[in-house]
Amino acid sequence: SSPYKIAVLAGDGIGPEVMAQARHVLAKISEKFGPSFEFTEQLVGGAAIDAVGKALPAETLAACEASDAILFGSVGGPKWETLPPNEQPERGALLPLRKHFGLFANLRPSICYPSLTHASPVKEELIAGGFDVLCVRELTGGLYFGQPKFRGEKDGEMTAIDTMIYKKSEIVRIAHVAFKAAQGRRKQLTSIDKANVLENGILWRATVEEVAKDYPDVKLSHLYVDNAAMQLIKQPRSFDVVLCENLFGDILSDEMAMITGSLGMLASASLGQAKGDGLYFGLFEPSGGSAPDIAGKGIANPIAQILSTALLLRFSLGLEKEAAAIEAAVRKVIDDGLRTGDIYSGAEGTRKVNTAEIGSAIVAAI
């Protein structure tokens, strides 16, 4: 059969460092299970600005269009923060990619492995029974993309405007994703909004209630976003699937990641509508960023990138066995006690290693 086509966009900061480990993992998957991959490495973000003057070169976009999926690292950093906002890596490349491919459904699975509970900042007894929450984040609407967007002089002083806008159809389609995910898990859905203040929140809550009628087996509850941020820390195990609009999901998913021990553990899948074959075109990236504070040192945690690669195999290529093998290998290496600095706490039986060492251990465990 013809090889699967993967566009590889490593980007900036720790992006290339963790991507290298994901590539080793894919090489091992080919060797062990047989599928062949055709990779096209493309410039994106600050690296693309430096090389060709644009965060999302036409060639990169064309390569993504010609691929089955995009494996993305991370973009951005201090070097490009003074450029005009629309030319910066985030708004010039990552957001346009999400919008261009209609990737409205962002899945962020936060799992705290039992042997990692000590690395979490929440009390061990709160997650000792396991922490496994799926954040379903709407990704192409809300404040990120709403018009008007403006910053300039207005009524005699500097003024900034961002517009929060959701069409009912946008809420309906992401709600279906969340309910379906809940059906495959513990059948509990918590929908997040700010219905006590925002018109968007009122529409969000009413729409999710309506969609719920199609899923009588799922227990739906609603939380205001401020309370949700608090409950996540107070009783993390009370959540199964959490449904959020774009910005709330951005914020709460970092919090969920930290409950598992580190942002460096949190993978993500950004998906569009299912294709006829039940698979999805998608962009797969760690939820964290380019981590300028540790970039270039070879100490970043590659697990979010590696688990994102597993999600790519599952959702875009239908390679479930291979995806599960990667996830099992990550779990084994964590259980064996290997830790990058972000998840190392000096606990007995654990060892601090660098990016390449933990990457090699995961490859060996596959």
Instruction: Yes or no: say if 282 and 245 are a contact pair by the CB < 8 Å rule.
Output: no
Cβ(269)–Cβ(106) below 8 Å: yes
- How many chain residues touch ligand NAD (CB under 6 A)? 24
Candidates 17, 250, 327, 342: give the one binding Mn ion (CB under 5 A). 250
- Does position 300 bind ligand NAD by CB under 6 A? yes
109 known member of a binding site: no
304 touches ligand NAD (CB under 6 A): yes
Please check if 331 is assigned to a binding site: no
Residue (5 or 99) nearer to ligand IPM, CB = 99
90 assigned to a ligand binding site = yes
Cα(339)–Cα(278) distance, integer angstroms: 36
Question: Which residue has its beta carbon closest to ligand IPM?
Answer: 90
SS3 for the chain is CCCEEEEEEEECCCHHHHHHHHHHHHHHHHHHHCCCEEEEECCCCHHHHHHHCCCCCHHHHHHHHCCCEEEEEECCCHHHCCCCHHHCHHHHHHHHHHHHCCCCEEEEEEEECHHHHHHCCCCHHHHCCCEEEEEEEECCCHHHCEEEEEEEEECCEEEEEEECCCCHHHHHHHHHHHHHHHHCCCCEEEEEECCCCCHHHHHHHHHHHHHHCCCCCCEEEEEEHHHHHHHHHHCHHHCCEEEECHHHHHHHHHHHHHHCCCHHHCCCEEECCCCCCCCCCEEECCCCCCCCCCCCCCCCCCHHHHHHHHHHHHHCCCCHHHHHHHHHHHHHHHHCCEECHHHCCCCCCCEECCHHHHHHHHHHHC
- Catalytic residue, candidates 54, 99, 254, 336: 254
Site of tokens 């960023």:
289
Q: Is-catalytic flag, 194?
A: yes
Among 135, 223, 263, 323, interactor with ligand NAD by CB under 6 A? 263
Binding residue for ligand NAD, selected from 132, 193, 245, 285, defined by CB under 6 A = 285
155 touches which of ligand IPM, Mn ion, ligand NAD, none (CB within 5 to 8 A by kind)?
none
Q: Is 342 in the site for ligand NAD (CB under 6 A)?
A: yes
Q: Is residue 162 annotated as part of the catalytic site, yes or no?
A: no
The gap from C-alpha 91 to its chain's centroid, in whole angstroms, comes to 17
- The nearer residue to Mn ion, 90 or 322, going by C-beta atoms, is 90
Which residues are near ligand IPM by CB under 6 A? 76, 90, 94-95, 250, 287, 289
Q: Which residue's CB is nearer to ligand IPM, number 138 or number 322?
A: 138
CB of 95 to ligand IPM, least distance (A): 6
Whether 144 is a known active-site residue: answer yes
**Token digits of residue 3:** 């090889």
Catalytic residue at 342? no
Annotated active-site residue in 250, 280, 342, 344:
250
Q: Which of 74, 140, 191, 350 binds ligand NAD (CB under 6 A)?
A: 74
Ligand-binding site membership of 187 (annotated): no
289 binds ligand NAD (CB under 6 A): yes
Q: Which is nearer to ligand NAD, 236 or 289 (CB)?
A: 289
Of 125, 277, 293, 348, which lies in the binding site for ligand NAD, with binding defined by CB under 6 A? 293
Give the nearest distance from C-beta 78 to Mn ion in angstroms. 17
Cβ atoms of residues 188 and 165 within 8 Å? no
Is 68 annotated as catalytic?
Answer: no
Which residues belong to the annotated binding site for NAD(+)? 77-90, 289-301
What is the contact surface with ligand NAD in residues (CB under 6 A)?
14, 18, 74-77, 90, 94, 262-264, 285-286, 288-294, 300-301, 304, 342
Catalytic residue ranges: 144, 194, 226, 250, 254
Interacting residues with Mn ion (CB under 5 A): 250
